């Protein structure tokens, strides 16, 4: 097998990959995977390292100096490369686990929280030089209040955008490629995993059980967010038609995904303008998500009507 074939094998389906992952992070992550392939490094260990590096990035942003923010940008870049590497290790070594899938998502939220808190703290240290100073004056807000408010709104926006992209991508892969169970089957699978963990000796698997509970709540929330009235198991949708109508919207929506946020954040950090990252997260990326949501909902409802 050639090196390029190994790289392709380490990826998800190309249509489901975010653009910046494909052209930046996963190629670098693949080099890391190849360099450590002969070691005992596991996907979960790689995920934990990624989390620690990502939290350090948030701490660096919190200092607010140009030097610290630049260091934070490099740390955040490294954290995302490692975050890509854990899945690539699992796919190449075929040693991924159900809990490992949850660990990966859980760590993403820990790092994102650290990043947004770090940005808010750092910007309060330099608020007199911030773009937020004039906006705070316009809205008659204390600059510190304005910084924390926009940081909170940008953080929530980032989480919602990632949530919707994850849901839309999984539904696309489920219908077009049969790669994912329905959310109902996913819940059932992890309920069974939870019962297996509960039966383990006392205190064993406690952290696994906690993560499974969090994931079940997350998945049930996704299930409630579905706009359709009939499930995919009740209404058969032609995979080819679904793919042709949803491939472009999915690709556009990927630019509101987590990797786009990370890339914009890193670029802004290198220029010491993290306030611009917050504004982009809150305004244009939310607009992209809303437009694609309306388009996708119309497409899906039309397909449901035609197949009822």
pLDDT in tens, 126-137: 765 555 555 555
What pLDDT is recorded for position 229?
A: 44
Residue 134 has what pLDDT?
Answer: 54
Query: Buried (b) or exposed (e) across 257-286, using 16+ Cβ within 10 A?
Result: bbbbbbbbbbebbeebebbebbbbbbeebb
Residue 22 pLDDT more than 50? yes
Instruction: Answer with the residue of higher pLDDT: 294 or 182.
Output: 294
Query: 261, 158 in Cβ contact below 8 A?
Result: yes
- Identify the structural domains of the chain with CATH numbers, from first to last: 3-307 (1.20.120.1760)
Which of 105-109, 163-167, 212-216, 281-285 is most confident?
Answer: 281-285
Query: pLDDT tens digits, residue range 247-304?
Result: 999 999 999 899 999 999 999 999 999 999 999 999 999 999 999 999 988 888 888 7
The SS3 call for residue 21 is: helix
pTM of the model: 0.83
pLDDT classification of 139: cutoffs 50, 70, 90:
low
> Is the per-residue pLDDT at 34 higher than 60?
yes
What percent of the chain lies above the pLDDT cut of 70? 85
- Chain-wide mean pLDDT for the chain? 84
Nearest-10 Cα torsion for 132, 134, 136, 138: -140
């Amino acid at each position: 097998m050639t090196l390029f074939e190994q790289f392709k094998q380490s990826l998800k389906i190309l249509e489901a990959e975010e653009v910046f992952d494909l052209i930046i992070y996963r190629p670098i992550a693949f080099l890391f995977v190849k360099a450590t392939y002969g070691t005992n490094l596991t996907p979960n260990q790689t995920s934990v390292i990624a989390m620690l590096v990502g939290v350090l990035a948030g701490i660096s942003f919190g200092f607010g100096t140009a030097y610290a923010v630049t260091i934070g940008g490099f740390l955040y870049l490294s954290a995302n490369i490692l975050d890509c590497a854990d899945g690539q290790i699992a796919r190449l070594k075929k040693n991924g686990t159900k809990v490992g899938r949850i660990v990966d998502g859980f760590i993403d939220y820990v790092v994102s929280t650290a990043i947004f808190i770090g940005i808010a703290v750092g910007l309060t240290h330099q608020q007199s030089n911030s773009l937020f100073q004039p906006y705070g004056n316009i809205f008659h807000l204390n600059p510190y209040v304005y910084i924390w408010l926009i940081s909170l709104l940008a953080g929530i926006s980032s989480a919602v955008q990632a949530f919707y992209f994850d849901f839309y991508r999984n539904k696309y892969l489920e219908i077009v490629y049969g790669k994912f169970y329905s959310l109902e089957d996913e819940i059932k699978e992890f309920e069974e995993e939870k019962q297996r963990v509960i039966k383990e000796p006392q205190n064993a698997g406690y952290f696994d059980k906690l993560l499974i509970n969090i994931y079940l709540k997350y998945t049930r929330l996704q299930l409630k967010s579905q706009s359709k009235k009939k499930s995919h198991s009740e209404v058969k949708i032609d995979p080819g038609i679904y793919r042709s109508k949803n491939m472009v919207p999915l690709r556009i929506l990927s630019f509101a995904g987590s990797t786009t946020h990370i890339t914009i954040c890193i670029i802004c950090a290198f220029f010491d303008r993290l306030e611009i990252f917050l504004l982009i997260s809150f305004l244009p990326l939310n607009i992209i998500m809303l437009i694609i949501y309306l388009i996708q909902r119309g497409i899906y409802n039309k397909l449901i009507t035609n197949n009822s």
